[in-house]
Amino acid sequence: MATLALAAFSLAACGSSASSASSSSTTAANSNASSSSSSTASWCGPKPITLGILDGNGANAWSQESLQQAKLAASECKAVKQVMVVDAEFNVQKSISGMASLVARGANAIITVPDANPPAELPGIIAATQQGVKVVPWAVDPGGSAPQDYVTFVNYNTEYNGQQWAKWLVKALNGHGNIVYLGGPPGNPIDVAQLTGVLSVFKNYPGMKLLTGTSTSTWPVTNWDPAMAQTVMAGLIAKYSGVKIDGLITGDGQSTLGAIQAFKDAGRPIPDIAGQESNGLACAWAAAKGTSNAFQLATSSNRNWMAQVAVQKAIAAVNGLNDPIPSVYNLPLYEDSIAGGSLTPHCDKSLPMDTLTSSILKPLSYWTSQAAG
């Protein structure tokens, strides 16, 4: 994984807000009913389940939506008797102790986003597995291997995401344009993979120039924070004052809003944008449509729905069941202003601007049909 000190590591597109830590126990009941019946869920099984949910930062919008998705899956299985939630606040020691605490408190199925420091969290995952707990890491790769260290790793194909964004920009710009890539914390594996995908496409189009460099290990660092993204983008606009910036790629929808503001403040045209979704970004596109600030937009799902997949696989493993849905996904574009139709960016002003709508507007069955080959 990343070589940086990851105390402030935030999952791509996870948002940037923070609050105090929480460690709570709730029943599995969830007010959001699923179309699946708890009595017919093939992955549920008869064994009583105490489900643990461990997140490096459970306070931000991404983590909160992911938690609701996990609880939604738990509500489909009558065998789930208790759900315990730990927020590690991006603190490595809290994450490590949180895993141990869940095991000590009787969790027999655990899902975790090991984003406080993946390599440091792996030993705790292995220790839980060795004690018979079925652990499913998702969204951030802790290293190790399945099934010896954990049941499986659930995620999307991050390199494929980068390829999708790059191909879309090639189409939007007719194969010629100056592109800026804004990334998260230094060295994080998500941006490494996404940049690898971007560059694998751009190498076939000499007219596509990545102003921010062709290394897959360095990029302008925003920590996926909107305020920092605005500052960094302002610096890049000043650096390339004589160059038209035609495209922007960024892995966090909320941070993209900060970058957009930097273009507005500088009186520069907003470039075409490819990256991760957010309701606020879709609303910014809708507000700019038909004005001098209009831009094209393509986004990918922030994959909160994968929390449901992780829960299903952990519970199935407790029961010795084979859950056939995939663990890794090649995700199609969620929004595409050029294609339009059902892919038109969806702005819902009744929802908070940091809402991640892909897990709300499309059912789990849609996303699980998008399996990696």
The ranges assigned to domains in the chain are 23-155+303-329, 158-300
If one counts every other C-beta atom within 10 angstroms of the C-beta of residue 204, the result is: 11
Distance CA 154, CA 156 (A): 7
pLDDT of residue 188: 84
Amino acid at position 5, single letter: A
Q: Does this chain's domain 23-155+303-329 share its CATH topology with 158-300?
A: yes
pLDDT of residue 185: 85
pLDDT of residue 75: 96
Distance CA 79, CA 145 (A): 28
Between strands 297-300 and 272-276, the pairing is parallel
- For residues 160 and 330, the answer to whether their CB atoms sit within 8 Å is yes
Distance CA 122, CA 360 (A): 31
Residue showing tokens 């890049």: 236
- Which helix (DSSP H) or strand (DSSP E) does residue 297 occupy? strand 297-300
Low-confidence ranges of the chain (pLDDT < 50): 1-39, 373
Structure tokens at 158: 């991050």
Distance CA 93, CA 3 (A): 18
Structure tokens at 244: 């038209």
Reported CATH class of domain 158-300: alpha beta
- The contacts of residue 366 (CB under 8 Å, 6+ apart) are none
- Structure pTM? 0.84
- For residues 313 and 44, the answer to whether their CB atoms sit within 8 Å is no
pLDDT of residue 189: 82
Reported CATH class of domain 23-155+303-329: alpha beta
If one counts every other C-beta atom within 10 angstroms of the C-beta of residue 4, the result is: 14
Helix, strand, coil abundance in the chain, percent, nearest 5: 35, 15, 50
Order of strands, edge to edge, in the sheet holding 109-113? Answer: 23-26, 80-87, 49-55, 109-113, 134-137
pLDDT of residue 269: 96
